[in-house]
Chain A
Amino acid sequence: MKRRVLFVDDDPNVLQGLRRMLRPMRHEWEMAFADGGPAALALLAETTFDVIVSDMRMPGMDGAELLARVKRDYPQVVRIVLSGHSERESIMRSVDTAHQYLAKPCDADNLKAVIARACRLRDMLRTASLRSLVTRLDTIPSLPQTYNEIVEELESPDASVQSVGRIIARDVGMTAKVLQLVNSAFFGLRCHVSDPAQAASLLGVDTLKSLVLSVHIFSQLDCTRVPEFCIETLWNHSVMVGALAKRIAADQSQSRELCDHALLAGLVHDAGKLVLAANLPDQYTQALEQAHAEHLTLELAERHQFDTSHAEVGAYLLGLWGLPDPIVEAVAFHHHPGLGATAFAPLTAVHAANALASRLSPCCRDCIAEPDQDYLAAIGLGSRWPRWNELADELMAEGVSQ
């Protein structure tokens, strides 16, 4: 089935150029072109689209407004901005409406890749209702304590980018959001950064201030709505998995990027749980209760409840937000690594770290995960398991001594 992509720009030359340039994709995508917001909305009303790519500044209804309406009325559509504007004001307005931001001139391959990836994401999360829900999200909730901390820090007159970065790096939602902003061209950075502290310093305190305090890119989880769900345990678990995944990656590879990805993927691998718990608290409570009652893994209980798991939900959202593919893959398959990479990848590290962490902290009954020894053997790393165990013990020792 062809994916449907809608392009919106007030300059007909741009539309024609895109049409010609993307002609080779005509067998995979069905493309439509609209010369403004109203025309785009009219097309959306006629047919469903998977992806919308819109200019920002247009006469009448501008891109931010169009995407806001799309988000409201057609939440399942992946929203991408393709703009020649670099004004902060319009970027700020697009932060909570666009999943990704591409700057004109955008090279053809990048544009194709982004669109293609957005199209593929659909396959990851098959439940349409859930897909609509997640596509509409613009935040992953944070630990209330951490949220207050960062707000306080940013409101103080001598907020430093270092301390802000440290706070962000401790939080799943914040990390994911900040990485979305720097990995997309929102602020014209267009560099793949996977270190949240570095991302914070790239954005700068002033931008973070308006993002956090005015645009509210972060939110806090209302824990009372999911009494069974302990966000602090999850938080500890995530931090530990991140740290361990990074050590495993470092032990296995020299690649700095791979290590960073491993850390990040470990940190956000359970983002889906947060999304589900925050947005579908009743159902999630049921899943939790079922898991406890029937001694199922939470993943299985989720599948019963949602026909999908937190892994897919997380991966879908992070993919929407344009986080690097290895991270999305690691999140998506951290329970079933066999479906993913066939060589050592962040996925491998996160999978192993997840299993090791759940073993090290038995109290976290929602984090129980078993290592897929077959997978490890298949990619020729079965012998590394004892070494990774040692790394986990070292990390525990350090954590305890701290």
Chain B
Amino acid sequence: MRFAGTHDKVVYAVRDGTADAGTVRTGTLEHLEEEGRIRPGTFRVLRFSTAPADFPLACSTRLYPEWPLARTRNTSVRLARRVALALLDMPSDSAAARAAHCTGWTIPANYQSVHECLRELRIAPYADPGPVSLRHLLRRYWPWVLTFGVFALLACGALIHMITLNRRLRQSRSGLVRELGIRRQVEQELRRSRARHRAITTLAQDAIVTADADGTIRFWNPAAERIFGYKAAETLGRSMFDLIVPPEYRPAKRRSMKAFACGASGRTLGRTLELEALRKDGSRFPIEISVSAYDDEHGRQAIALVRDVSKQVRTREQLTKAHQMTSRLIDAIPSILVAVDAHDRVSAWNAAAVKLLGIDAAGAVGHPLETLKRDWDYPLLKSAIDEARRTCRMVPVARDVHYRRPDGDDGLLGATICPMGQIGDCGENLLIVAADVTERRRLETQLRQAQKLESIGQLAAGIAHEINTPTQFVGDNIRFLQDAFRDLAGVLAHYARLLDAARTGRPDARLITGIEQALEEADLDYLREEIPKAIEQSLDGVDRVAKIVRSMKEFSHPGTREKQLVDLNKAIESTITVARNEWKYVAEMVTEFDPDLPRVPCWVSDFNEVILNMVVNAAHAICDVVGDSGEKGRITVATRPAGDHVEVRISDTGTGIPEDIRARIFDPFFTTKEVGKGTGQGLAVAHRVIVEQHGGTIDVESRVGEGTTFLIRLPISPPETEPNASEEEHRHETPCSVCR
């Protein structure tokens, strides 16, 4: 037995055979194997004992603590520590040590960690290490310092690098934040825009539809649903041609869509068109469509705004119809309707104007009215136009406008100028309404003539009677005178014979009886009495005839172009005479003529007609009173001067005119006489003649049951301002103008 000193030497001694066995501390073999100083397997461990599983080393013997000092489980830590300290601090000369024959307790040299631990604890042998110098420290710790310095340098470099990196990071981060803000804004904008788009497309009353270039519908808004009747789901992805385009337009639409796909703008893009479309229920309706294009990932897209214009179209059609109706109406009016503007340029010209004036509308509208026609009385029309402008009132043109008709004949227009504005503001446009009155004027003239003839015709029978009666008795009387003369001649012959006999000698008695017989036969007394009467009555009869004929001549005086100074007394006298047969059976005629009546300018034939009408009316009124009683009423005709007028008063004792019709008696065609008895023109003619032609007045006083008085007043000198109109009118009445 020997102590080799170290465990390694023990191992080597065994290996080198210098010893047969040895004891070593656990782990020594593993260390040496690891260091390569022995070969594994060379050694065998005696009394091998297994160690706990986590023990990494070969365990030769049973495990025992690493440390020489150990604490039992029941010993407190503090006690253990005091014991350990006491043991280690125990000086070698202490009684205990001596008792135990040891120098004390120490630490094995190779327990580095224990050493360090002791140093740390500043216990023996390291209880007082003495002063520590920097050099000492450097010497002791220089690798550490060096390492530290290197590390510090590295750390500084890393720090600088990090700071740089950090700055860059911060920069890019702020850039990112900014970008994020923008993006957020953009997104917000996008959201808003989308909402707006949605709102617009949803709320739009017009259908908004987008489609691919091949016509596949991509978008279909609620209005489209409403207008076409298809839900969006039914349309998306389907061809619009199949859905909303009427079959007959499909080929054309497909073609134009193909062109559209190739980028053509066609005649559709950017315009509003009116087309016909198909609803889901198959009905057709008019639409107004505007198409635009845009490109997206699917290619060229068409977006269409479609409006259902059925209502508008209907309204438009109604308007058109109404307008057509109005134009037809205006053209159907047989009167000329011409509108002129402020400069008398024609702005409207209806069919009657075309027909009657021989100028078509194209040739008239826009041209000054004056230049349109040469052969018409434009100045007359113009004066009325000016007056209408001035007065803002409707102005009838004073006279008929002479014009040349398209057929070359002369014609007359009755025209009225009507301002087309409102009350107070007549505007500058005027409407000229005119009708061809040629025929009417001609008929009026004829009618007046016929009336005159009628009244003369009515008189004719009476006049015939007035002539026939005297002729009858004049003839009878002359026949009587003839007979009487024959009888007297017979008597005279007897006397002649008696005279002869008396001359020659004695008259014969037979002669005397002959005379006596002849006298008796001739009834001389009767003859002596009757012959003068017969002659007187015959002369009277001839006077009557002569007077009637003269009166007739005066009465039916053809009339003159201008007024003449007329002795009204004489004129009235003739008229009464001519009309004698009309009144003599019912009335006495009383005339109270003022012998000093001044002559009055008048158209005597018209005046006579008036007096005739008055006298005949008076006779009829009286006849209604007296009937067939044989009694007679009275007609009084009186004349007298009254200042600058003369008055003619015609009174009757007839029925009188009831109050309620008194105002209407001068109206044309108003008559109370039974049909066929009167035309109702008499008093209307009287009014026209006296008031319009002569500037006089005609008044009526009447008491029912007592009679009526007409008072005619004629001016002795007519007003100078009397319009030419009546002269002209009068000219139409004269026979010479009738045969024009």
Contacts and interface: CB of A to CB of B under 8 A. Distances in A.
Chain A bound to chain B: yes
Interface string A92-116: 0000000000011111100000000
Given A58-B585, A103-B468, A23 B474 contact: no
Given A13-B537, A16-B537, A59-B630, A105 B472 contact: yes
Given A13-B541, A60-B628, A85 B465 contact: yes
A58 B472 CA distance: 16
Interface stretch (B54-62, B292-300, B475-483, B570-578): B475-483
Nearest to B676: A89
B586 to A, nearest CB: 7
Contacts of B472: 14, 17, 82, 84, 104-106
Given A13-B540, A13-B541, A105-B468, A85 B473 contact: no
Most buried by B among A10, A62, A85, A105: A105
Contacts of A141: none
B449 interface: no
B585 A11 contact: no
A104 B581 CA distance: 15
Contacts of A58: 585
A96 to B, nearest CB: 19
Contacts of A190: none
Contacts of A57: 465, 581, 585
Contact of B475 (A60, A82, A108): A108
A78 B494 CA distance: 42
A52 B656 CA distance: 39
A48 interface: no
B473 A11 contact: yes
Contacts of A107: 475
B474 to A, nearest CB: 7
Nearest to B530: A20
Contact of B469 (A60, A87, A104): A104
A36 interface: yes
Given A13-B470, A85-B461, A60 B537 contact: no
A38 B630 contact: yes
Nearest to B481: A20
A105 B628 contact: no
Interface in A1-56: 10-11, 13-14, 16-18, 20-21, 23-24, 36, 38
A104 B476 contact: no
A241 to B, nearest CB: 41
B681 interface: no
Contact of A36 (B468, B476, B630): B630
B628 A17 contact: no
Interface string A67-87: 000000000000000111111
Nearest to B544: A13
B738 interface: no
A61 B534 CA distance: 28
Contacts of B470: 13
B471 interface: yes
A20 B469 contact: no
A65 interface: yes
Contacts of B466: 84
A103 B530 CA distance: 26
Contacts of A65: 628
Interface string B615-635: 000000000000011111000
B537 A23 contact: no
A17 B537 contact: yes
Contacts of B628: 60-62, 65
B224 to A, nearest CB: 74
B476 A21 contact: yes
B135 to A, nearest CB: 172
A24 B486 CA distance: 12
B464 interface: yes
B465 A20 contact: no
Interface centre among A59, A61, A65 (most CB of B within 10 A): A59
Contacts of B465: 57, 83-86, 104
Contacts of B629: 60
21 contacts: A13-B470, A13-B541, A14-B472, A20-B476, A20-B479, A21-B476, A21-B477, A21-B479, A23-B480, A38-B630, A57-B581, A57-B585, A60-B629, A61-B630, A62-B628, A65-B628, A85-B461, A85-B465, A86-B464, A104-B469, A107-B475
Interface of A: 10-11, 13-14, 16-18, 20-21, 23-24, 36, 38, 57-62, 65, 82-87, 103-108
Given A17-B474, A105-B471, A108-B479, 5 more contacts: A14-B472, A14-B473, A21-B476, A84-B465, A104-B469
